[in-house]
Amino acid sequence: MRPRGYLEVGVNDGRSLTLSRVPTIAIDPEFCITSEVSCDVRLVKATSDDFFARPGCVDHLPGGVIDFGFIDGMHLSEFAYRDFMNVERLSTWTSVIVFDDMLPRSAPEAARDRYTKFWAGDVYKASLALQRLRPDLVCIPVDTSPTGMLLVLGANAADTTLRSAYDGLLAEFTAPDPQAVPTEVLQRTSSADPEKVVASPVWADLVAAREAGAPRDPAVYEPMRSLRGTGPVVPVVAPEPVRLRDHKPPARVPARPPASRKRASPRAEAVGRRSALRRRTRKLLRRIADRL
Ligand SMILES: C[S@@+](CC[C@H](N)C(=O)[O-])C[C@H]1O[C@@H](n2cnc3c(N)ncnc32)[C@H](O)[C@@H]1O
């Protein structure tokens, strides 16, 4: 993708940030970077709402535009709507916006009140809202581990549909746990195979259009839509979520039965599994960035 500028909401220990090689803005009120970073980064210690309220907030990026935006901050739907609205108003039609954690595998993983190790929260609702309210956008859920992504193409900085609908969306979609996650999300029936997404010719066409300063041409990004549903359909029974230690689940979710067999080192196993999954997600992000 060779973006001119990258913006990341939610930095944590900086593992995704290590992939960037272009001027970058990274926002997190509580970042704790533990890896080496190899880009010209403006690291912002603030909430995304506070950051986006600042005039000229993306001036650090070439052209004052977000070519590649990664939304991975607070995992609650209202934050995801706002992060998207803010990123989109600072994007162009050739920009690429990716949300993380849009395909929770179970209601516990989608809980607003976190109690599992892999936590997607209810940000998947932003995907449902965009698909209903913004048919002009190409929204592709991508089948990544552990909790999926959403790729959004065709940004329109002038669009105010989501802003106008925001209060209604909160009233309609915000619900106490447990969340009623739609089967389509749990089973990933519309998701795309990540390999096919990365291999798409759309990336080269987007770069060419961006470099030529071409006016909006939906024919450039629309072909990506055909990749919806190319990922595997997941069985209805989601894997048992790994719970946080010493954290009581909400009352309405049945507690996990005691383990029937003793395992050598469950904590080490879980940490290893988590690192491997994160490595795979980061690898995919890097491959998308390489294509742009
Ligand atoms: C899942 S982690 C981000 C991981 C990172 N993107 C990566 O892939 O390595 C989520 C981060 O969002 C941050 N966060 C929470 N609320 C936020 C907010 N309102 N604005 C920006 N970041 C927020 C948290 O501090 C946390 O570090």
Going from N- to C-terminal start, the domains of the chain cover 6-254+264-291
CB 153 within 8 A of CB 199: no
Question: Euclidean distance between the first and final Cα of the chain, in Å?
Answer: 1
Pairing of strands 138-142, 149-153: antiparallel
CB 55 within 8 A of CB 49: no
How far is the centre of ligand 1, averaged over its atoms, from the C-alpha of 264 (Å)? 32
Residue ranges lining ligand 1, Cβ < 6 Å = 8-12, 15-16, 27-30, 47-48, 72-74, 79
Q: What is the pTM of this model?
A: 0.87
How far is the centre of ligand 1, averaged over its atoms, from the C-alpha of 47 (Å)? 9
Indicate which residue's Cα is closest to atom 23 of ligand 1. 73
The predicted structure's pLDDT at residue 265: 63
The larger pLDDT score, comparing residue 3 to residue 289, is at 3
The angle at the Cα of 190, spanning 186 to 193, to the nearest 5 degrees, equals 100
What element of type H or E holds 206? helix 202-212
What lies within 8 Å, CB to CB, of 224 at 6+ separation is 138, 140, 151, 153, 197, 200, 202
Cα–Cα distance measured from residue 33 to residue 81, given in angstroms and rounded to the nearest whole number? 26
Task: Note the pLDDT tens digit of each residue in 100-133.
Answer: 999 999 999 999 999 999 999 999 999 999 999 9
Nearest to 289 by CA among 192, 185, 197, 161: 197
Share of the chain above pLDDT 70, in %: 87
- The model's confidence at residue 166, banded by pLDDT at 50, 70 and 90, is very high
The predicted structure's pLDDT at residue 235: 78
Cα–Cα distance measured from residue 249 to residue 226, given in angstroms and rounded to the nearest whole number? 40
Q: What is the CATH number of domain 6-254+264-291?
A: 3.40.50
Long-range contacts of 213-219, Cβ-Cβ distance < 8 Å, separation of 24 or more: 216/93, 216/156, 218/136, 218/154
